[in-house]
Amino acid sequence: MYEKPILQVKHLQKQFGEGCPHCFDKESVYLEKNYCTVCGTVHAVRDVSFDLYPGEVLGIVGESGSGKSTMLQGLYFDSSMTSGAVYINQSELTGQNVLSLSSQQKRYIRNYIYGMVYQNPVDGLKMKFSSIGNIAEKMIAAGNRNVSNIEKRSKELLENVHIPLRRMKEEPQYFSGGMQQRVQIAKALSNNPPILFLDEVTTGLDLSVQASVLDLIKQIQRELHISMVVVSHDLAVIRMLADRSIVMLNGEVIENGLTDQILEDPQHEYTQQLVYSLL
Amino acid sequence: MIAKPHFAFFDEGSKKEIRRATLKAVAIPGYQVPFASREMPIARGWGTGGLQLTLSLIGRNDVLKVIDQGADESVNAVSIKKLVQHTTGVSVTEKTQEADIIQSRHRIPEKALKEDQILVLQVPNPEPLRKVDAREYMTKRMHAEDDYSGAWLLLFEQIMKFGRMSTGASHPVYVNGRYVMTPSPIPRFDNPKMHQSKGLILLGAGREKKIFAVPPYTSVESLAFDDYPFTVESFEGKACKLCGSTDVFLDEIIDPDTGERTHQCNDTSYCMEQLNSEEKVEVENSYV
């Protein structure tokens, strides 16, 4: 129990707008959910802190608009955060707030340490490049300049995610949504990243495809021992994947603990409602 | 009343502004410097970038050579020559070694540049990353951050599709180990001529409003993979049917009636020179 977290997130904050004295307090009467009625500021992420341990799957649940994806985009440097700190426990980055690094260093982290699977494959893939090219892109970005080497690794990954190799040169724009999602997963895994972010990976997929994507993620986590942050509004997905979970509402963390515990004995009013609305 | 054109067509302010961009381009090898491309008496996309560079640089005593796809006499080359001559009165030449400024479209002359020569290349598409992202602010950011995985990816895709890098022209190059640049649509055959060139190479894109440069003695490396090295077009076993040259870029000419394939130097002035020197030798021999 003395394990050190691989990813530490401290007091992450993201607001759209200047903010004003009326909305500084989280309990302010001027706040309508996370929207300030006085100055019009939206507090998308408010003071979020959590730790991610090696090999662990952390679930993040919450209704749409609760700030889950915004937070994930902030962690992956797709959008800048207003304030807060993120620490990664990797020798070359110890003690540095990665949010304050230069864009080159951020790109290094994205290419070597992070993997990301977006909710919408359009964000994560180049739809007009071949599937194998999409996977290669990340390896090329990480400095690999050997075609046969890249090809071999890409084929392995495509087999892992059950995409027939005869279709590897096709462009993802001709694939079904589930297949696109699996190409994204293969791409995210290409450099064996220690940390993987999954943003609503199964949303919009049919049940059997959902099951196979979830199976795959579970298998990857077991075999490669990758730490994952799984964002979903689907409690069933969280129940299946996550060891520990965080519940977000209006940009804040309202509950966190073991997934089982949260689902069996929710403490917060919103979580109770959420769990009971589960069919 | 017909007004006399200003020397080199432009007003001095315009020339100064273009030279300023050119100096910046020379100072940052391979970096695309934006400039206010002028309205020209020829249409954009027909060599206005190169023409603006030439006009901003040319002096009364300079000798100009203009080539289009290797030919001195093609329409584009001739009209550019006429315009420059009309507005400056400089003399023109077809001999590469006699020229001070060589404006060219899609070729680098077979004769190596000298230290006091400037090669001006006309560029249609200056952005090597345009196919990676259509947005200028994104490609600018990629250049700034030295993020060239997209340029490599384009080559990787070609290898996956065709089993080799299939760039016919404008194979991207790394300039001075920093910026990835398009060498303008010159054949791959000409890429190595840019490396450590003795003369200054300026590239101008009039429609896209960019000027960039390869200063003399600068390293220019063509992008390639470890196991798929860069290669130039091979003309093994072929020779120019007119002058017999073998180590030059050859055009393939097909006789429409017989279907017979022959090859000929693409650089017309080089071919002419070879023929003249052969003839000279013949004459000398027969005289003795």
DSSP assigned state of B187: B
CA B29 – CA B49 distance, rounded (Å): 18
Contacts of A132 in chain B (CB under 8 A): 160
pLDDT at residue A279 in the model: 58
Interface touch A133/B147, C-beta < 8 Å: no
Q: Could you tell me which chain A residue has the CA closest to the CA of B133? A: A126
For residue A89, give the 3-state DSSP assignment: coil
Selected residues 142-181 of chain B with any CB under 8 Å from a CB in chain A: 145-147, 149-150, 152-153, 156-157, 159-161
Residue A32 lies in a domain: no
Strands B200-205 and B118-122: parallel
Q: Name every residue whose Cβ is closer than 8 Å to that of residue A39 and which is 6 or more positions away in sequence.
A: A17, A18, A19, A20, A22, A23
Q: Catalytic residue positions of B? A: 30, 240, 243, 265, 271
pLDDT at residue A219 in the model: 86
Confirm if A5 and A89 have CB atoms less than 8 A apart: yes
- Residue B80 has a CB neighbour count (10 Å cut-off) of 26
Q: What letters, b where the CB count within 10 A reaches 16 and e where it falls short, cover A180-191?
A: bbbbbbbbbbbb
Selected residues 221-240 of chain B with any CB under 8 Å from a CB in chain A: 225-228
Q: How far away is chain A from the Cα of B181, in angstroms, using its nearest Cα?
A: 18
pLDDT at residue A140 in the model: 94
Strands A195-199 and A114-117: parallel
pLDDT at residue A220 in the model: 84
CA B29 – CA B194 distance, rounded (Å): 12
Domain CATH number, residue A233: 3.40.50.300
- The model's confidence at residue B208, banded by pLDDT at 50, 70 and 90, is very high
pLDDT at residue B149 in the model: 93
* Chain A interface, best mutation among B140, B148, B225, B230, by max A CB count within 10 A: B225
CA A254 – CA A268 distance, rounded (Å): 7
Q: Which residues pair with A74 in a beta bridge?
A: none
pLDDT at residue A92 in the model: 84
- The model's confidence at residue B1, banded by pLDDT at 50, 70 and 90, is low
pLDDT at residue B75 in the model: 92
Confirm if A4 and A89 have CB atoms less than 8 A apart: yes
CA B2 – CA B167 distance, rounded (Å): 48
Residue A19 lies in a domain: no
| Tokens matching residue B70 | 């290797």
Q: Give Cα separations from B120 to A102, B92, B100, B147 (angstroms).
A: 37, 15, 11, 28
Q: How far away is chain B from the Cα of A114, in angstroms, using its nearest Cα?
A: 17
Please report the sign of the dihedral spanned by the C-alpha atoms of residue A121, residue A127, residue A132, residue A137.
negative
B17 class by beta-carbon count within 10 Å (0-12 exposed, 13-18 middle, 19+ buried): middle
Q: What are phi and psi of B113, to 5 degrees?
A: -70, 150
HSE-CB at A12 with a 13 A cutoff on CA atoms is 29
Q: Out of B153, B227, B228, name the one closest to residue A136 (CB).
A: B153
Q: Out of B145, B157, B226, name the one closest to residue A130 (CB).
A: B157
Question: Which domain covers residue A107, as residue numbers?
Answer: 54-80+101-276
Residue A235 lies in a domain: yes
Please report the sign of the dihedral spanned by the C-alpha atoms of residue B139, residue B142, residue B146, residue B148.
negative
- Residue B270 has a CB neighbour count (10 Å cut-off) of 21
- Residue B183 has a CB neighbour count (10 Å cut-off) of 27
Contacts of A137 in chain B (CB under 8 A): 149-150, 153
Taking residues B44-64, report their average pLDDT: 94
CA B233 – CA B154 distance, rounded (Å): 19
CA B85 – CA B240 distance, rounded (Å): 32
pLDDT at residue B68 in the model: 95
Helix axis angle for B48-57 and B75-88, nearest 10°, is 30
In chain B the domains, ranked by start, together with CATH numbers, are 12-222 (3.40.50.11310), 234-288 (no CATH)
Residue A8 lies in a domain: no
Q: How far away is chain A from the Cα of B17, in angstroms, using its nearest Cα?
A: 33
* Chain A interface, best mutation among B160, B221, B225, B227, by max A CB count within 10 A: B160
> In chain A, how many domains are there?
1
- Residue A262 has a CB neighbour count (10 Å cut-off) of 26
B116 class by beta-carbon count within 10 Å (0-12 exposed, 13-18 middle, 19+ buried): exposed
Can you tell me which residue has the tokens 């519940």?
A247
pLDDT at residue A104 in the model: 87
Q: How far away is chain B from the Cα of A158, in angstroms, using its nearest Cα?
A: 15
Taking residues B155-159, report their average pLDDT: 95
| A→B interface, C-beta within 8 Å | 103-104, 107, 126, 129-130, 132-133, 136-137, 140-141, 145-151, 169
pLDDT at residue A5 in the model: 92
Ramachandran bin of B109, using left for φ above 0, alpha for ψ from -120 to 50, beta for the remaining angles: beta
Q: How far away is chain B from the Cα of A137, in angstroms, using its nearest Cα?
A: 6
Q: Which residues pair with B66 in a beta bridge?
A: B103
How high does pLDDT run on average in chain A?
Answer: 89
Confirm if B220 and B173 have CB atoms less than 8 A apart: yes
Residue A37 lies in a domain: no
Helix axis angle for A147-160 and A131-141, nearest 10°, is 120
pLDDT digits (tens, 9 = 90+) for A44-65: 999 999 999 998 999 999 888 8
Residue A108 lies in a domain: yes
Contacts of A147 in chain B (CB under 8 A): 156, 159, 225-228
pLDDT at residue B239 in the model: 94
pLDDT at residue B288 in the model: 61
Taking residues B265-282, report their average pLDDT: 91
| Tokens matching residue B161 | 């599709």
Q: Which residues of chain A carry a pLDDT beneath 50?
A: none
CA B122 – CA B49 distance, rounded (Å): 6
State which H helix or E strand residue A238 sits in. helix A235-241
Q: What are phi and psi of B82, to 5 degrees?
A: -60, -45
Helix axis angle for A147-160 and A177-189, nearest 10°, is 130
